[in-house]
Structure 1
Amino acid sequence: MHLTDLGRAVLIAREGRRLAAYRDSVGIWTIGIGHTSAAGPPTVTPGLRITAAECDALFARDVARYVRSVAATVPPDLADHAFDALVSLCFNIGPGAFARSSVVRRLAAGDRDGAAAAILLWNRPAELIPRRGAEYDQFRTPYALAPPRARRGDAAPIIAPGAPLSAVLPALPSARRSIPRAAATLPVRRPEPPAPTGTLARLWTALRTRLRRDA
């Protein structure tokens, strides 16, 4: 089992990318893409800075650990979208808490609806509630039906790098319907004939003057 490219992209969108150390919503020093000292070196201290390349390498190492933790505790036939959602949850709450969670217990009992509902129980601090809603939706919804969002309520879904625009269209049915209708209502503008120049312009002016005088 592995994290898909789309799962990786949505996890990065949820965690954010910071090259300078900062305190997260519960006061833990964090850097890069959700890296804390609990995940291993480097120890995150105030003033620590990393490069973009170091950030990407650190995330690749960190996320591999969480993927292994989830793969070791969930049914092997779990769909990609559901597995990706659980990696996102595990990345946020830690492998130990994930292994002991009711999400894992309900999956082991064959209760996948109950496991999805248990994702929503990890709702502290309150800032995490939109993320948990998005992880719940991701767990339950195949990517072919709707791409995931970083947080529930976000206007735009996440698509994997390099994915075609068609990958996002299932989430935008109203846009697909309205575009042809809107295009059909646009007025047709016919091109104006070019204005005469040179000798033709002088003849045209003389003709207009003659017509006005004769009238």
Structure 2
Amino acid sequence: MNRKPLFDAARVLAGGKLIQAQVDDLNKVVDGLSSTQGMTTSRVGINLITSFEDEKLNAYDDGVGVWTIGFGTTVYPNGVKVKKGDVCTAEQAKAFFTYDLKRFEAAVNGAVKVSLTQNQFDALVLLTYNIGSAAFKSSTLLKKLNTKDYAGAADQFLVWNCGGGEVLKGLVRRREAERTLFIKK
């Protein structure tokens, strides 16, 4: 975003000159406007999520004691946790996925304070879909990203490769795919 017209207008309003504090405040406003607010996952991102989150119409243990159904749903839209014995239809699985996707998009949009490419956004949603909003919001990845350390943030994807205290091959593969998408131009 070209900030010059904004700063020119601000100088006129301020009587010809801006002090550093005013410049800093204007930069914060512009950064806030250009953050990820309102981004949605692309078809590429959705396809990647569903390639890792197979459709399962019967609840299953994800391998670390979390009951899951549909395309990786662990909590229904009504707030009830998925439990052993639960069953859903293909239509319900799609509805749960749509609900979950919107939740995780909102989490990424709300937490990220820097500009992102579509690929970066998709990779972050894919990660958040898997690790959860709370883990994403407290992650070193997010801290690095919000300081514009994009390379450091990219490397943090690979840290999230454990389930139940063990490195899992499926998570290693998933994190590599997320990181590759994140750094793709």
CA RMSD of aligned residues (A): 1.5
Instruction: Flag structure 1 segments of 5+ consecutive residues without an equivalent.
Output: 143-215
The one-letter amino acid of 2:65's match is G
Superposed CA offset, 1:87-121 (max 9, x none): 01011111011001011100111100000001111
Superposed CA offset, 1:119-149 (max 9, x none): 111110322111111111110013xxxxxxx
Q: 1:100 aligns with which of 131, 138, 141?
A: 138
Partner of 1:28: 66
In the aligned structure 1, how far is the partner of 2:77 from the partner of 2:134?
12
In the alignment, structure 1 residue 135 sits paired with structure 2 residue 178: yes
Matches within 5 A, 1:1-215: 1-37=39-75, 41-125=79-163, 126-127=167-168, 128-142=171-185
- Please tell me whether the aligned partners of residues 77 and 99 of structure 2 are also in contact (alpha carbons under 8 angstroms): no
Which range moved further: 32-41 or 2-11? 32-41
Taking every aligned residue pair, what percent have the same amino acid on both sides? 37
Change (3 A) 1:87 1:40: farther
TM-score after normalising by structure 1: 0.63
TM-score after normalising by structure 2: 0.73
In the aligned structure 1, how far is the partner of 2:78 from the partner of 2:156?
28
In the aligned structure 2, how far is the partner of 1:136 from the partner of 1:6?
14
In the aligned structure 1, how far is the partner of 2:77 from the partner of 2:117?
26
Report the number of matched residues.
Answer: 142
The one-letter amino acid of 1:114's match is G
Which runs of at least 4 in structure 1 moved beyond 4 Å after TM superposition?
Answer: none
Instruction: Flag structure 2 segments of 5+ consecutive residues without an equivalent.
Output: 1-38
Q: Rg: which structure is higher?
A: 1
